[in-house]
Amino acid sequence: MTVKDSNGNLLAEGDSVTVIKDLKVRGSSSVIKRGTKVKNIRLTDDEEEIEGKVDGSVIVLKACFLKKA
């Protein structure tokens, strides 16, 4: 399984990524701001999604809104 960021770089378990666009969190009123760094990501079963901790919460993010840090 290969997961690619918005620039086409391959992502792997434990990589750090940066959010390239302000993202609204579904089911919450919070927003993940552009430039937020997500460290130590985990890959999911879906090739388009990764898991990472943002502000102490584990969130699933689409890889198309991330770039490798």
CA 64, 68, 69: angle at the middle one, nearest 5?
140
- The reported pLDDT for the residue numbered 1 is 80
The label of the residue with tokens 């985990």 reads 42
Instruction: Give me the domain span that covers residue 39.
Output: 3-68
- The reported pLDDT for the residue numbered 13 is 96
- The reported pLDDT for the residue numbered 51 is 97
Q: What is the CATH number of the domain that holds 15?
A: 2.30.30.40
Strand partners, 59: 52
Number of structural domains, the chain? 1
pTM reported for the whole predicted model: 0.89
Task: Profile the chain (69 residues) by mean pLDDT over runs of 10 residues.
Answer: 94 96 93 96 95 94 96
